[in-house]
Structure 1
Amino acid sequence: MKTTRGRLNPKLLAVSVSTIACGALHAPACAQADGTAVQEVIVTAQRTAAPESKTPVALSVLTAADLDAIGADTPGALAARLPNTYLENSYDGLRITIRGVSNADVTEKGDPSAAFMVDGVYVARPQSQNTALYDVDRVEVLRGPQGTLYGRNTTAGVVNVITKAPVNRFEGDVNATFGNWGERKVGAMVNVPVNAVLALRAAATWNKHDPYLSNGSNTPRTLGLDRDDRAARLSAKLALGDNASLLVRYEASRDNSNNDSTVPDSNFYSGIATGNPVWNGDSTDKRLTYRFNPPNTRFEQGYSHKKTSALTAELNWDLGPATLSWLGAHRSFDHDYDYNFYYRVAPAVALGVRQPFNGSYNQDSHELRLATNGTGPLSAQGGVYWFRERARDVYYFRDLQLVGLPPYYVFANDPVRSQSKAVFGQATYRLVDGLRATAGARYTEDDKSRTGYIGYQRAATFNAATDLRDLNAGRIATNRTTWRLGLDYDLSPATLVYGAVATGYKAGGFNDGCVAGDSRNGVGCLPTSALPAASLTYRPETVRAYEAGVKTRFWDGRASLNVAAFHYDYRDLQLSNEVVVNGRPRYETTNAAEAAVRGLEADGQVRATRADTATYALTLLDAHYVGYVPDGVHSWSGVKLDRTPARTLALGWEHRFHLAGGQLAAGVGTHASASYLLGVPQAGLKFRVPGHTESDLHAGWTPDGARWSVLARVRNLENEVRPMTISSSGLTVPTEPRTADVRFDYRF
């Protein structure tokens, strides 16, 4: 295909696709009434409802049917169906990586690079993002910075889980699932139209499976990578006259999974002590077996108890020329756990560390937005946003006496505050028929602070006669204006071409420590641990992104193709890991000077017949550091960012046919990835994950005229596991092995 100076020419691509695509110019009109057309999905990616094929941003949508087919009932199960996207349920929370951009600081002071949302509400804590997906309408994943409409901490993109709202008809469903690894699940939903103005919907789920990890260390404790959670949601939709409606949702969940879900990195690699890790080729069983016996302590039984509640209200009022919307939410999250660390303190020496933790987090958010109605040449929206989070936690590390620390190395923080305020607006104007220009901007102010201490104690309870406390406090205020400029053009009724330049912003923050002379609540900054003010804080992360794309339907609407080409210039990319400061372990975030990301994505569907549907996705990606010297000596310029394979290919096929008095739908999908890196820059380690495939199968049968159905699924047919995350201390979270289950549904 012709390019200009090595860059993709989106208009030439669109012309080529349209030329070879039979019937492209008339696809909407001739979409087959017999069900052969690719189904259109309505999305709210730009905060107003629009068809996915007419939304000029790179996004993927997974519907409820898609989630059921692949058995995706947690965010971490979605990634194989999403181009250039990784969602990983790590031991310390959900890690989201989009087009190579991620973040590892999941502490109370950290922020993600990709926003995770539920029904449009930002969920701040990664530990509470590892949530059950149930009674979900769709999941929208936007790739690229979304700073104008979604705000801060969206330099990588947005994941928005949209649950089903009450409808004006009676319906219900109960389901049960059983599988290997002791999997058992139960779910239920009922929707009741109380009267002409009120509808109620209730849904609940309970999920459990045994640990994937086995204990080979001759100790009695049970390990993690298990599941034990339950959740329920009650929704009410009230019509307020003819022009307004109020939707209220309340959700509560409990999660009692085991937090000990890691193995040493030596389960996957040899040669770590030499600084050159090499994939060891061990079997899946060996990689999922924990064999480390610490020389300095005896591990305890780990556990994790999470409690979450959320109240959300959404008001929409049609004023005629415009619609006024308010979205308000309160979320609370409590977490109590005991974790056993594998902690490498030297290339060939590792210790065991026990960590009890108790934390509480509360967040409130409000957004007021006004969006124009009608079909005139101008459409616009604008509003104000306010967010506040207050957290407190206390945790301590035991068993580090061999590195010169006391028996209890304590971190206590209360309060930790984060507040964000923003004003935003975006407008699209039709220049001529089919050609539209978009401009938007958002101004954001962020204020983050923490007051706490680091304790050096002989016991869990502080003793002023024998113990010391060191101030652990910081504050930073940052602000940015992010903006977006774009053009989109209807090359034909079935082909949209678009291009945009957009910026993103992630708030700055502070590290563990204190500044000499500072004192809070009677705790001062010890001279031996004081840090320069410049190293206590880190700068905001910013990005400027250039993107062009094509979305087209062809073959009489029976096939679709979405193509996006992009280039990012990152500044002050935030990278986090454990480090030793003044002889004491801390969690530190630093800024990589520059990073560059560029790539190409293509995905779509083909409805070959009424009974056959194929899906495909191809990505090409080059994401690397442009300027980064993590230890002040060794340059990582040119080194790839984490989780950035040069190529990936996903293929899927489903066939439906009549069998034994019912409808059978059987499908297969596979995801092939080139190798990629997981880096620990502070230690100079580069862990290469080899190229691999991961495949799944599903088959569902529904008897004619019946209310019940059965669905069988197998995931990871290859039964291969890989490291999801690797920390500088060697903690490694494996992916899931082969799983299989059968689900029964009864609808009424």
Structure 2
Amino acid sequence: MSKKEFRLNPSLLAAAAAGIMSGNAAAQEASIGTTPAEVVVTATRLPTLASRTPVAMSVVSGAQLVMEGSDSPAQLGKRLPNLHLDQAAEGLRITIRGVTNSDSTDKGDPSAAFLLDGVYIPRGPAQTFAFLDVDRIEVLRGPQGTLYGRNTTAGVINVISNAPTARFDASAGAEAGSFNSRKFNATVNVPVSPALALRAAVAGQRHDSYLHNAQGTPYELGLDRGERSARLSALLALGQDAALLVRYDHGRASENNDRFVPDTNFYDGISTGTPNWRAGSTDQRLTNAFRPPNTVPEQGYNEKRARGLGAQLEWKLGAATLTWLGSHRRFDQDMLVNYYYRVAPGFALGVHNLYTGKNQADSHELRVSTDAARALSGQAGLYYFSEESHTTYSFRGLQLLGLPPYYVFPSGPTKADSRAVFGQLTWRMTDRVRATAGARSTHDDKSRIGSTNFQLAAAFNPATDTRLLNAAQIETSKTTWRLGLDADIGASTLAWLSIATGYKAGGFNDGCAAGSTALGIGCPPAIAVPASTLFYQPETLRSIEIGSRTRLWDGRATVNAVAFDYDYTNLQLSGVAVLQGAPRFVTSNAGVASVKGLELDGTVQVLERGSLAWSLTLLDAHYDVYSPDGVRSWAGRKLDRAPSRVATLGYDHRFTLGGGQLTAGMFARASSEYVIAVPSQGLSYRIPSHTSTDLRLGWQPQGAPWSVLARVRNLEDKVRPIAIDSFGMTTPSDPRTVDLRVDYRF
């Protein structure tokens, strides 16, 4: 709801909510195929107009998500500059400007933070749930260490849901499409009293697998979907100067995590260490015909459950505003995956991976901010985050490697605690020029107790089985800072220059330090892991960014330009390596990397009924110093998912026809080639240049409460790898899909 709408409502609820909701002002469609409009965002943790916010970012509204059919994070990536969002088997993988991380285990951290209503969601599998009643999504590119904290070296994705408002509103929608796709969603907003409003939202969706099973079994494969979610929100006015917003959300997903095919579906020459892209139809690429020589695949499954309780209190104290944001979240997952597990060039095993995990996280932020219109304004705060996980990975089928029938990794508790103090000041040097300085001091404490078990049966038997200790603890600290200068050039252009640093916490791998003891297991020197292998150091970077935002022709067009230069140190990369005679998942520091590029995007209103949006990105992201095996140098090689050039073009047009409005739209994305590398195997997979096109056609009768929308996604029906792991398991992109949607507003 916009500030104007609140001012028009004289109720106590609207008056109190104006403050807490100023950051939730409805984002107008600000990207592909929409009319240029002003948008209120909270990228700086305070409500500002997007056109006056000196940060490289993109904003997508909830209405735009519905129009495009982007109902999950993985479907959003291709729409925005220098962003890859890929739903791999292990969860959501975020790549911004070529910077990513592949360690999705309970001990790993992402390079980009995924937030739901400002709350950090730490685990990749918990980030894959469908969008529910979204107001807008803000994507910030570049390090955000000062205001958002650790693990934001690549950037931030903040999904902001609709909050209750002071008027009754209800809507419902349903979809049906290819692969037996069906979806529904509904929302209702009820102002209970002048001081209280409630909002409820529910959604569900399902579609069959995109993959074809040629393994000779009757089982279904992955790339399917089955999900239900709900959210209940309450907004309570506490007098004229304070408001409390409380949200509870719950989501369940029942899917299949056998969502991959062998890399040989896309490449030849893997056995020689030089994968070469080969021709193939979409059906061939989406067919899993691997027949394991050692076992028979079982029916895979992936059961996920997420729930969270969050609260935001905003209290105006004269010249300052006090904000508290707190959250408690839980995530459970149980799955069975049938691995394609390459153990030697040209030879792979079938391995059954059974996983169970329970994760809970608590976070609190207390922040004080002053009016941004003052000559000297600022914000400062305290932050606390705590996470605890209990997981068990169990592998069956590795006997040909000399391992027992059950190769098991029970871990827990795995803990991560982070504490930070931060502040940022802005000085209005003149009416047009502002200088900003900020800093954040963060301290991270991580620990884990677990083991590597060699078992003859599903349950550990101390009489016949053996186990090695996995136990480590590491503390890392860093002060990140940001300096910025921004200026209004005329009435229509904002320009800025910023220098910022970022930090991602260090961590540990499997194993133990000599002399340590836990779970009744010792760690003698003969099996201890050297500190250089057991631990990896924090990832840090320095970023220089120059940008501008310009509105032209009385707001009928926008042009945004950003140039950036990163200097990365200790980039964290992950993969499988053999330690102590058994395969382990290892993260190491990649030395030094360089990232620089240019991002251009804009919108144009064409006549009265058309709107065009475009973008062009140029990117050079490569290693400066890196040797994955200590012998070969990868200096000069590109970082993963870092195409040198990407261009997008979208157009929408509205027609008055037959007593209603017909809307036609298209979106096209053209990408140059890029790579997905597996450093631990010395492999680099080239993804050729490609183009993807989406079409849509909508109809709404004049004055009618209902509308209908038809969509085609990936018109070319071409697929490509979006993730390739150390074993050769390749997750393909989605094929062409067609759907029809009906919406009704009460």
TM value normalised by structure 2: 0.95
* Residue of structure 1 aligned with 2:556, choices 547, 555, 558: 558
* Residue of structure 2 aligned with 1:110, choices 108, 118, 123: 108
Task: Tell me, yes or no, if the aligned pair for 2:37 and 2:555 is still in contact at 8 Å.
Answer: no
Partners of 1:94 and 1:203 lie apart in 2 by: 23
Partners of 1:39 and 1:528 lie apart in 2 by: 66
Partners of 1:584 and 1:533 lie apart in 2 by: 19
* Residue of structure 1 aligned with 2:678, choices 677, 680, 700: 680
- Residue identity matched to 2:219: R
Q: Compared with structure 1, are the counterparts of its residues 472 and 164 closer, same or farther at alpha carbon in structure 2 (3 Å cutoff)?
A: same
Task: Tell me, yes or no, if the aligned pair for 1:265 and 1:726 is still in contact at 8 Å.
Answer: yes
* Residue of structure 2 aligned with 1:629, choices 627, 630, 637: 627
Partners of 1:191 and 1:288 lie apart in 2 by: 43
Residue 735 of structure 1 is matched in structure 2 by: 733
- Residue identity matched to 1:197: A
Residue 448 of structure 1 is matched in structure 2 by: 446
- Residue identity matched to 2:81: P
TM value normalised by structure 1: 0.95
Determine whether 1:508 maps to 2:524.
no
Task: Tell me, yes or no, if the aligned pair for 1:528 and 1:582 is still in contact at 8 Å.
Answer: no
Residue 533 of structure 1 is matched in structure 2 by: 531
Superposed CA deviations along residues 179-201 of structure 1, whole A, max 9, x for unmatched, are 00000001110000001110000
Stretch moving more, 39-48 or 515-524: 515-524
Residue 715 of structure 2 is matched in structure 1 by: 717
Task: Tell me, yes or no, if the aligned pair for 1:723 and 1:735 is still in contact at 8 Å.
Answer: yes
Residue 479 of structure 1 is matched in structure 2 by: 477
Superposed CA deviations along residues 384-435 of structure 1, whole A, max 9, x for unmatched, are 0000001101121111011111110010011100000000000110111200
Deviation of 1:529 (Å): 3.5
* Residue of structure 2 aligned with 1:620, choices 618, 621, 627: 618
Task: Tell me, yes or no, if the aligned pair for 2:628 and 2:680 is still in contact at 8 Å.
Answer: yes
Residue 545 of structure 1 is matched in structure 2 by: 543
Residue 122 of structure 1 is matched in structure 2 by: 120
Task: Tell me, yes or no, if the aligned pair for 2:372 and 2:378 is still in contact at 8 Å.
Answer: no
Residue 573 of structure 1 is matched in structure 2 by: 571
Deviation of 1:581 (Å): 1.1
Superposed CA deviations along residues 491-513 of structure 1, whole A, max 9, x for unmatched, are 11110010100000000000011
Determine whether 1:284 maps to 2:282.
yes
Deviation of 1:284 (Å): 0.4
Residue 76 of structure 1 is matched in structure 2 by: 74
- Residue identity matched to 1:514: C
Q: Compared with structure 1, are the counterparts of its residues 430 and 460 closer, same or farther at alpha carbon in structure 2 (3 Å cutoff)?
A: same
Task: Tell me, yes or no, if the aligned pair for 2:452 and 2:470 is still in contact at 8 Å.
Answer: yes
Written as runs of structure 1 = structure 2, the 5 A alignment for 1:121-200 is 121-200=119-198
Q: Compared with structure 1, are the counterparts of its residues 37 and 682 closer, same or farther at alpha carbon in structure 2 (3 Å cutoff)?
A: closer
Residue 356 of structure 1 is matched in structure 2 by: 354
Residue 380 of structure 2 is matched in structure 1 by: 382
Determine whether 1:321 maps to 2:295.
no
- The alignment partner of 2:591 has SS state of strand
Task: Tell me, yes or no, if the aligned pair for 1:448 and 1:475 is still in contact at 8 Å.
Answer: yes
Written as runs of structure 1 = structure 2, the 5 A alignment for 1:31-110 is 38-110=36-108
* Residue of structure 2 aligned with 1:524, choices 512, 517, 522: 522
Deviation of 1:37 (Å): 6.6
* Residue of structure 1 aligned with 2:604, choices 601, 606, 609: 606
- The alignment partner of 2:255 has SS state of coil
Task: Tell me, yes or no, if the aligned pair for 2:145 and 2:501 is still in contact at 8 Å.
Answer: yes
- Residue identity matched to 2:89: Y
- Residue identity matched to 2:489: L
- Residue identity matched to 1:133: F
Deviation of 1:374 (Å): 5.6
Partners of 2:304 and 2:521 lie apart in 1 by: 31
Residue 241 of structure 1 is matched in structure 2 by: 239
Residue 745 of structure 2 is matched in structure 1 by: 747
- The alignment partner of 2:570 has SS state of strand
Task: Tell me, yes or no, if the aligned pair for 1:471 and 1:526 is still in contact at 8 Å.
Answer: no
Residue 305 of structure 1 is matched in structure 2 by: 303
Partners of 1:609 and 1:69 lie apart in 2 by: 21
Residue 705 of structure 2 is matched in structure 1 by: 707
Superposed CA deviations along residues 316-354 of structure 1, whole A, max 9, x for unmatched, are 001110100000000000000001100111111111110
Deviation of 1:243 (Å): 0.5
Deviation of 1:700 (Å): 1.1
Partners of 1:597 and 1:534 lie apart in 2 by: 26
Residue 11 of structure 2 is matched in structure 1 by: none
- Residue identity matched to 2:559: L
Superposed CA deviations along residues 418-462 of structure 1, whole A, max 9, x for unmatched, are 000000000110111200000000000000000011110000011
Long gaps (5+) in structure 1: 1-35
Deviation of 1:523 (Å): 1.5
**What RMSD, in angstroms, separates the aligned Cα atoms of the two structures?**
1.1
Residue 341 of structure 1 is matched in structure 2 by: 339
- The alignment partner of 1:460 has SS state of coil
Matched residue count: 714
Written as runs of structure 1 = structure 2, the 5 A alignment for 1:633-652 is 633-652=631-650
Deviation of 1:517 (Å): 2.3
Superposed CA deviations along residues 90-138 of structure 1, whole A, max 9, x for unmatched, are 1110000000000000000000000000000000111100011021000
Partners of 1:243 and 1:206 lie apart in 2 by: 38
- The alignment partner of 1:194 has SS state of strand
- The alignment partner of 1:503 has SS state of strand
Task: Tell me, yes or no, if the aligned pair for 2:334 and 2:356 is still in contact at 8 Å.
Answer: yes
- Residue identity matched to 2:689: G
Residue 23 of structure 1 is matched in structure 2 by: none
Deviation of 1:699 (Å): 1.1
- The alignment partner of 2:67 has SS state of helix
Task: Tell me, yes or no, if the aligned pair for 1:320 and 1:373 is still in contact at 8 Å.
Answer: no
Deviation of 1:220 (Å): 1.5
- Residue identity matched to 2:630: G
Residue 22 of structure 1 is matched in structure 2 by: none
* Residue of structure 2 aligned with 1:458, choices 456, 459, 478: 456
Determine whether 1:664 maps to 2:662.
yes
Moved over 6 A (4+): none
Task: Tell me, yes or no, if the aligned pair for 1:657 and 1:665 is still in contact at 8 Å.
Answer: yes
Superposed CA deviations along residues 49-86 of structure 1, whole A, max 9, x for unmatched, are 00111000100000112111210000000011110000
Partners of 1:183 and 1:737 lie apart in 2 by: 13
- The alignment partner of 1:432 has SS state of coil
- Identity level (%): 57
Superposed CA deviations along residues 612-647 of structure 1, whole A, max 9, x for unmatched, are 000001000000000001101000000000001110
